[in-house]
Structure 1
Amino acid sequence: MDNDINYGEAIKLLQRVASSEGFLASAQNISNYKRVWARDGVICGLAALASGDENLIETFKHTLETLANNQHKNGTIPSNVMTTEKIVEVSYGGLAGRVDAVTWFIIGICQYAYYKKDKAFVAKYNAVIEKCLQLLEAWEFNNKGLLYVPLSGNWADEYITDGYVLYDQLLRIWALKSYNYFVKDIEITNKIEKITAQIEINFTPNSIGEKYHDRAYNEINIQEFMPCAFSPAGYKTQFDAFANSLALYLNIGSQEFQNKILKYCIALKNQIPLQLLPAFWPPIYDSDLDWNLLKNNCKYEFRNYPNEFHNGGSWTMVNGFFGLALLSKGKTSEASELLEAINKANAVDDFSFYENFNSETKAPNGVPFCAWSAAATVMLNQSINTNFKFLV
């Protein structure tokens, strides 16, 4: 199908979810999605910047303002905000707080300012950002460089990752790099180097340096990708597509190991019927040790059946970031093939832009008209066809 049609439909969906308070998570009339979410809103905002559509970019600005205006006194950025004429409902997380709301917010402020060439926008929110950074420092708990994330503490809120979750460390690096582009602070530069070193020591093979959990590190055999998380109980060794895409995009790990991650990602994508990377792999089954942890981690209904949702399901949003990683490594033809697969998935049921898909059967799952699914098409399309680049 013509990329122009897919791109046009994606832009239309982003326009539909644009409210006076910011981007809503879905055009579907589902209460929890008719809110301005931190991570969803910023990802849609990144797509808005890539599109160059001034109305969408203005909605991104409103998204950031809504989040900043509802920062908790301790520094937490809302997971989501619902605004009506009379009331404002603010959530900082469900079963646990959302660590990635803080880092996505910082990324959003800085990417908007970078695009607009407006340093004053960062300066306006300097106190808000500094409070965020202080909170992230506290969330290390042991002051060794890595964030400690609770179960259910990020976008994979019904999955099994907790402790030193790779995805959150990488988002923090992107946030710090984005902010430091403007403030050029030596302490932040040192912090970026410290976190990067700790990721490479604890998440890459044959690393030199004192490990957080030496015994656990020696028990696993890191070969083709960075494991998704570790905690005092040991490592969770599943492949995390979002995290490994960010590692490639941010150029973390040796060149040799990054090449292995790329090779693994492309091979895995090619074996999946959708030709998309699953969010986490392999799926967890009811015979696996982690099944009990997985089946109990849901507030409403269980959705993490094998090959679905976070448990091996495929998300076009996640693949949008894998596409950016491919481009950053000069893999333009592979990125173009991935964009075709993203567009094909987003076009199912007359462009329903489903949240995710069963990686085995290709059946759609979750909420339709999901805004960040549209964002994936826009970000990758513009990065390929107009050479658009984010601040990295």
Structure 2
Amino acid sequence: MSTISYNKSIELLYNVSSTNGFVASAENTSNYNRVWARDGVICGLAALASGDKKLIETFRITLETLANNQHEIGTIPSNVMINEKTTEVSYGGLAGRVDAVTWFIIGICQYAFHTNDNSLIVKYEVEIEKALFLLEAWEFNNKHLIYVPLSGNWADEYITDGYVLYDQLLRIWALKNYNSFKKSEKLALKIKHIVEQVESNFLPNSNKDKFHERAYNEIKFNAYLPCSFSPSGYKNQFDAFANSLVLMLNIGSDFVQKEIINFSFTLAQSTKLGLVPAFWPPILESDIHWDLLKDNCKYEFRNFPYEFHNGGSWSMVNGFFALGLLNHSEHEKSSIILENINNANAINEYSFYENFNTDTMAPNGVSNCAWSAAAAVLLHQAINNNFKIVL
């Protein structure tokens, strides 16, 4: 099963390879037939893991497409569509996409690490520096955490906003990667400040200064870090992607990380798919945040309970969860997650669905979704060939 699934995943990555980079899906769906920053970089990480020269070249082209369409103020495109007649560049829909900037920097650096070729970093140093300056501006209060608008990242129809944990962690990862090349005391100090602020504001029992002391004192911390906070208080849903990054980046104490591992894996095993949901618990119509969730969609509402971001299960997210497990030598648990990712991707003759209803197992979103395949490739190579993302 593992070999077949791996080969099918590689096949899909070939199918989403275009002359301008990785597109989000092999389906002829307009919004997915584009080069996306986060999707493209995650597919690129899988390409690097695979060692496939053609896929790695597609990754390089993806990064160049993003860099060449950077906004003059530093914003990296959320997505780009290029055809014979025109180029359409989007920096976000209802709000700009903050994580496009950090994924771009991570992608450039990971390409350099794994190919032993720094040429893209040299070529796009100005673009990287502009992107980093923009992230600094997005702090607004110069206190080291970026402020993310509603719809400002991959969970673009969910309720997280303000100081979103996921985005702070991606920034730490991006800065650490870039500083491996720059060796800058200024960058090293910035990383230190951001980590301190994350640990002060998202971890329990912190005795350091908080952004929002009153809200911090009112929150009931669980066995994971809360997903976001803003002037209106904390949102305490479990964010699987963010907490996976906590495990990958070793944020907090060993105790905190063990708590996250135990909570996340137990949650995954309690579901029919054996996968950890993207956010948990799902927001129901009777919950306080339902109206915020219901109105946050540009076209049609998709975040029904247990679906999409609202408690849906994504192969892509589980790939990063299992990488976090591997970072803590949880090899057996990560292998179980890989098997469950492969089983999900194989539904309906390897349709590689975007996500699934965690309650019913029904598929949601587009089929032939590129980063569903990328998760399987990345994790397969990490488990079987010791491929390591540089953190």
Query: How does the TM-score come out when normalised to structure 2?
Result: 0.99
The 3-state SS of whatever aligns with 2:31 is helix
Paired amino acid for 1:222: F
* CA distance in 2 between partners of 1:115 and 1:16 (Å): 23
In the TM superposition, residue 221 of structure 1 has moved relative to its aligned partner by 1.7
Query: How does the TM-score come out when normalised to structure 1?
Result: 0.99
* CA distance in 1 between partners of 2:156 and 2:99 (Å): 11
The 3-state SS of whatever aligns with 1:33 is coil
Q: Please say if 1:14 is aligned against 2:30.
A: no
* CA distance in 2 between partners of 1:122 and 1:294 (Å): 39
Paired amino acid for 2:268: K
Q: Please say if 1:73 is aligned against 2:77.
A: no
* CA distance in 2 between partners of 1:186 and 1:147 (Å): 21
Cα-to-partner distance string for 1:328-371 (whole Å, 9 max, x where unaligned): 00000100000000000000000000000000111100010000
The 3-state SS of whatever aligns with 2:324 is helix
In the TM superposition, residue 144 of structure 1 has moved relative to its aligned partner by 0.2
The 3-state SS of whatever aligns with 2:61 is helix
Q: Please say if 1:115 is aligned against 2:121.
A: no
Q: Please say if 1:391 is aligned against 2:390.
A: yes
Cα-to-partner distance string for 1:174-199 (whole Å, 9 max, x where unaligned): 00011011111111100111000000
Once the two structures are overlaid, the 10-residue window that deviates more, 319-328 or 120-129, is 120-129
The 3-state SS of whatever aligns with 1:263 is helix
* CA distance in 2 between partners of 1:121 and 1:80 (Å): 20
Question: In the alignment, which residue of structure 1 is the partner of 2:139?
Answer: 140
Question: In the alignment, which residue of structure 2 is the partner of 1:203?
Answer: 202
Q: Please say if 1:61 is aligned against 2:60.
A: yes
* CA distance in 2 between partners of 1:244 and 1:198 (Å): 16
Q: Extract structure 1 runs of 4+ deviating beyond 3 A.
A: none
Question: In the alignment, which residue of structure 2 is the partner of 1:247?
Answer: 246
Paired amino acid for 2:28: N
* CA distance in 2 between partners of 1:144 and 1:222 (Å): 23
Q: Please say if 1:370 is aligned against 2:369.
A: yes
* CA distance in 1 between partners of 2:23 and 2:119 (Å): 26
Paired amino acid for 1:264: F
- The within-5 A match list for 1:265-344 is 265-344=264-343
Q: Please say if 1:97 is aligned against 2:93.
A: no
* CA distance in 1 between partners of 2:200 and 2:82 (Å): 44
In the TM superposition, residue 275 of structure 1 has moved relative to its aligned partner by 0.4
Cα-to-partner distance string for 1:186-225 (whole Å, 9 max, x where unaligned): 1110011100000000001101210000000000121300
Paired amino acid for 1:385: N
Question: In the alignment, which residue of structure 1 is the partner of 2:379?
Answer: 380
* CA distance in 1 between partners of 2:50 and 2:95 (Å): 34
Paired amino acid for 2:302: R
Q: How many residues align?
A: 391
* CA distance in 2 between partners of 1:202 and 1:214 (Å): 9
Paired amino acid for 1:136: L
Paired amino acid for 2:7: G
* CA distance in 2 between partners of 1:231 and 1:276 (Å): 29
Question: In the alignment, which residue of structure 1 is the partner of 2:354?
Answer: 355
* CA distance in 2 between partners of 1:390 and 1:259 (Å): 21
Q: Please say if 1:238 is aligned against 2:259.
A: no
* CA distance in 2 between partners of 1:22 and 1:119 (Å): 19
Cα-to-partner distance string for 1:240-289 (whole Å, 9 max, x where unaligned): 00000001100001111111111111111111111000000000000001
Question: In the alignment, which residue of structure 2 is the partner of 1:47?
Answer: 46
In the TM superposition, residue 121 of structure 1 has moved relative to its aligned partner by 2.2
In the TM superposition, residue 119 of structure 1 has moved relative to its aligned partner by 2.1
Which blocks of at least 5 consecutive residues in structure 2 are unaligned?
Answer: none
The 3-state SS of whatever aligns with 1:284 is coil
Q: Please say if 1:155 is aligned against 2:154.
A: yes
Question: In the alignment, which residue of structure 2 is the partner of 1:177?
Answer: 176
The 3-state SS of whatever aligns with 2:105 is helix
Cα-to-partner distance string for 1:12-68 (whole Å, 9 max, x where unaligned): 000000001000000000000000000000000000000000000000000000000
* CA distance in 2 between partners of 1:119 and 1:17 (Å): 26
Paired amino acid for 1:270: Q
In the TM superposition, residue 118 of structure 1 has moved relative to its aligned partner by 1.4
In the TM superposition, residue 120 of structure 1 has moved relative to its aligned partner by 2.7
The 3-state SS of whatever aligns with 1:338 is helix
Which blocks of at least 5 consecutive residues in structure 1 are unaligned?
Answer: none
The 3-state SS of whatever aligns with 2:310 is coil
Once the two structures are overlaid, the 10-residue window that deviates more, 209-218 or 253-262, is 253-262
Question: In the alignment, which residue of structure 2 is the partner of 1:263?
Answer: 262
Paired amino acid for 2:110: Q
